[in-house]
Amino acid sequence: MKAIIGTLKSYVPEESEESVKERLGIKRLVRLSANENPYGTSPKVREAVLNYIEHYDANLYPDGNASSLRSVLAKYWDVAENQLIIGVGLDEVISMVNTTYITPGDSIVISVPTFSEYALNGLIEGAVIREVPCIYETGHYDFEAMRAAVDDTTRIVWICNPNNPTGIYETIEDIRTFITSLPATTLVIIDEAYIDFVTSCKEPTARKLLDEFPNVCIMRTFSKAYGLANYRVGYMMSSESVTKYIQTIRLPYNVSTIAQVAAEAAFKDELFLKDTIHKNDIERALWEELLQKLEITYYTSEANFVFFSVPNADALADMWLEQGYQVRRGQRPDWLRLTFPATEDGIVMRSILRDYMASL
Ligand SMILES: Cc1ncc(COP(=O)(O)O)c(C=O)c1O
């Protein structure tokens, strides 16, 4: 066994829905701890998957190149097909990037708090993780401090935009200035898992940076706005010189045909995507309004979740859980991350929050 493995804690998955319901004696549990889509999945996905199952057995391996999905994505993004790595969710793509690029002793620079998989996968490969705290007051990345943390051992810098769990969006201008200051040998990976939820500007994506910098990679997932978390499809766009190496370690049949078919159908259903974004916008505004009114400290979210701080946050999380609402704890003491629920649940949850704050 690699020595590092003995020092790592294995991922603790969410307690299963059935187990939580049984433990608390509740009939319904709404999971708002994993930033999934509360509005379900496009009906076009169900149609496409049923159509596929009706016509094909499962005896043959899937198309290892995910050709049809690849072609649709490449056309949409105006990139060559070989600039795409398609994986079993971004989780797999993050793992592949680390396997490909990290040699023990290399360093990785991340802002904290951020998505835990960046550090975990780096550690598995023997990387030194340099954590740079975000600016506490605003939640924004401290790009200057991140630049100072980069040296000639730094193989990867992660930018999660909007960031999980802060929900903070960094502008393309700020990201461009930051990248310009970095060595060209350091990969800058911009994880846009939540970018579809950004509505404060017309073109939030860093797509155009791909053409400007050969060391930029952009990640996207179908798990969030597309409501496809269960099928596990994510992808990365980068220069051919990056993808060609990652392709060599990708497992040959990583993404199942059902997942490929589902992702393609989801990608083409623009109406479902727009509807999800619109509903999220409405709920986000309602939450923000209440957080302000109750004078709760929070970061201005451009995602489908909000990160905020209340006294004795566990007590509030317990109160919500007893009513069937599970939120994410443990990312910072007395801070919680809540995925915006659908309308009716939002009304109930905000009423519980008002009562909780009044009881303090
Ligand atoms: C920022 C970020 N990146 C990547 C992922 C992983 O997404 P996927 O479901 O595509 O593996 C998540 C999941 O929560 C995430 O929050």
What is the per-residue pLDDT across 183-240, written as a single tens digit (0 to 9) for each? 999 999 999 999 999 999 999 999 999 999 999 999 999 999 999 999 999 999 999 9
Q: What is the best residue among 33, 93, 221, 222 to mutate for testing ligand 1's pocket, by most ligand atoms within 8 Å of CB?
A: 221
Per-residue confidence (pLDDT) for residue 4, from 0 to 100: 87
- For ligand 1, atom 2: residue with the closest CA: 193
89-101 helix and 116-124 helix, angle to the nearest 10 degrees? 40
Asked if residue 193 has its Cβ within 6 Å of ligand 1, the reply is yes
- Position 296 confidence tier, pLDDT thresholds 50, 70, 90: very high
Distance from the CA of 219 to the center of ligand 1, in angstroms? 10
Asked if residue 160 has its Cβ within 6 Å of ligand 1, the reply is yes
Q: What is the pLDDT of residues 73-87, one digit of tens each?
A: 999 999 999 999 999
Q: Is the pLDDT of residue 2 over 90?
A: no
Nearest to 354 by CA among 278, 308, 276, 295: 295
Mean pLDDT within 243-257: 97
- Position 14 confidence tier, pLDDT thresholds 50, 70, 90: confident
Asked if residue 115 has its Cβ within 6 Å of ligand 1, the reply is yes
The DSSP bridge pattern shows strands 154-160 and 187-191 to be parallel
Q: Is the pLDDT of residue 271 over 90?
A: yes
Distance from the CA of 221 to the center of ligand 1, in angstroms? 7
Q: What is the pLDDT of residues 331-353, one digit of tens each?
A: 999 999 999 999 999 999 999 99
- For ligand 1, atom 4: residue with the closest CA: 90
pTM of the model: 0.97
Q: Are the C-beta atoms of residues 310 and 295 closer than 8 Å to each other?
A: no
Mean pLDDT of the chain: 97
Report the percent of the chain where pLDDT is more than 90: 95
Retrieve residue 109's tokens. 């620079």
- Position 3 confidence tier, pLDDT thresholds 50, 70, 90: confident
- For ligand 1, atom 5: residue with the closest CA: 90
Asked if residue 87 has its Cβ within 6 Å of ligand 1, the reply is no
Please give the number of the atom of ligand 1 that sits closest to the Cα of 114: 1
Distance from the CA of 87 to the center of ligand 1, in angstroms? 12
Asked if residue 225 has its Cβ within 6 Å of ligand 1, the reply is no
Mean pLDDT within 90-119: 98
What is the distance between the alpha carbons of residues 133 and 26, in angstroms, rounded to a whole number? Answer: 39
Cα dihedral: 342, 44, 76, 239 (round 10): 80
Per-residue confidence (pLDDT) for residue 1, from 0 to 100: 87
Cα dihedral: 94, 97, 100, 106 (round 10): -90
Asked if residue 226 has its Cβ within 6 Å of ligand 1, the reply is no
313-322 helix and 343-358 helix, angle to the nearest 10 degrees? 130
Asked if residue 90 has its Cβ within 6 Å of ligand 1, the reply is yes
Q: Are the C-beta atoms of residues 186 and 150 closer than 8 Å to each other?
A: yes
Retrieve residue 234's tokens. 């994510």
Q: What is the pLDDT of residues 301-328, one digit of tens each?
A: 999 999 999 999 999 999 999 999 999 9
Per-residue confidence (pLDDT) for residue 209, from 0 to 100: 98
Q: Are the C-beta atoms of residues 73 and 267 closer than 8 Å to each other?
A: yes
Distance from the CA of 220 to the center of ligand 1, in angstroms? 9
Asked if residue 91 has its Cβ within 6 Å of ligand 1, the reply is yes
Distance from the CA of 91 to the center of ligand 1, in angstroms? 6
Asked if residue 92 has its Cβ within 6 Å of ligand 1, the reply is no
Burial of 129 (0-12, 13-18, 19+ CB in 10 A): middle
Asked if residue 229 has its Cβ within 6 Å of ligand 1, the reply is yes
